[in-house]
Copies of this chain bind each other. A is one copy, B any other.
Amino acid sequence: MTTEQDATAKNNADFAEYADLGATTSEAMEIAETSMDRVRELVPDETLADRIRQKAVHATGDPEFQHLVRFTGSNDAKPVRAGTRAVLDEQPIVTDITMVKAGITGRGHGCPVRKAIGNGAELAERTGMTRTAASVLELDRNGVYEGAIAVIGNAPTAALALADCIEDGTRPAVIVATPVGFVKAAESRKRIRTVAREYGVPAITNVGRRGGSGLAAGLTNELVHAASDVRNGDLDIP
């Protein structure tokens, strides 16, 4: 055995530790699956809404989170169905900030993924509103949220702006809103639930101060996952 071969053999032995967790590209899927198996011991696995509750626990690492998710629609399954259908229809996924966009899986869907932030700079400067709120209003003026999967993971003001757009007539296919924090986060999600109920827009949100970009991306990715299951014949959405 040459020194180089020897080094490779040693390296491969060293690598067993990582390889145990999975293999090449499918590793991420495998780790995710093992992780979801553990989650399924902690969260019911009976309804479409349970899938989202499970994903919330998976994304936060906290079994408690299953109780903090809220579904706005004629029943708990409604926003999950609407979101899954929107993914199958390849509607745009529109996030508030770059970090949430970065968390949306690139696989299993043909939806264009875009972010609001970066738009509406002139509007923000002219009015004094937040950049994120302005970015949502600006995209809405261009019709971007109509029929879209609207995802807000970070900015309460973006959620408040989106609520205004809905009052003004915009109808996203589904809203996923989980802004985190101590200032207006819980209130902004409550406002989303209120307009969602009033105008018949399905929405997935959470209560309390927790939430964030990782949660929003995770829940949206679960809609993508559900769409894949429909395509594979493993799930039926009426």
Interface residues on A, range: 35 or more
Across-interface contacts of A25 in B (CB, < 8 A) = 124, 131
Bound together, the chains give a CA A180 to CA B212 distance in angstroms of: 13
Across-interface contacts of A210 in B (CB, < 8 A) = 60-62
Across-interface contacts of A134 in B (CB, < 8 A) = 18
Q: Are B99 and A15 in contact (CB under 8 A)?
A: no
* Binary contact track A81-103/B, C-beta < 8 Å → 1, others 0: 00000000000000001110111
Question: Which residue from chain B places its CB closest to the CB of A25 in the assembled complex?
Answer: B131
A123 to chain B, nearest CB (A): 9
* Residues from 5 to 20 in A contacting B, C-beta threshold 8 Å: 11-12, 14-15, 17-19
Q: Are A131 and B27 in contact (CB under 8 A)?
A: yes
Is A39 part of the binding interface, using a Cβ–Cβ cutoff of 8 Å?
yes
A18, A24, A98, A184 interface centre (most CB from chain B within 10 Å)? A18
Q: A61-B181, A180-B60, A182-B58 are in contact. Are A130 and B22 (CB under 8 A)?
A: yes
Q: Are B61 and A128 in contact (CB under 8 A)?
A: no
Bound together, the chains give a CA A98 to CA B98 distance in angstroms of: 10
Bound together, the chains give a CA A23 to CA B126 distance in angstroms of: 10
Across-interface contacts of A58 in B (CB, < 8 A) = 181-182
| CB pairs A–B below 8 angstroms (6 shown) | A18-B127, A18-B129, A21-B184, A25-B131, A31-B157, A213-B213
List the 8 closest pairs (A to B, CB-CB), nearest first. A18-B129, A61-B209, A102-B102, A18-B133, A38-B182, A99-B102, A61-B210, A19-B128
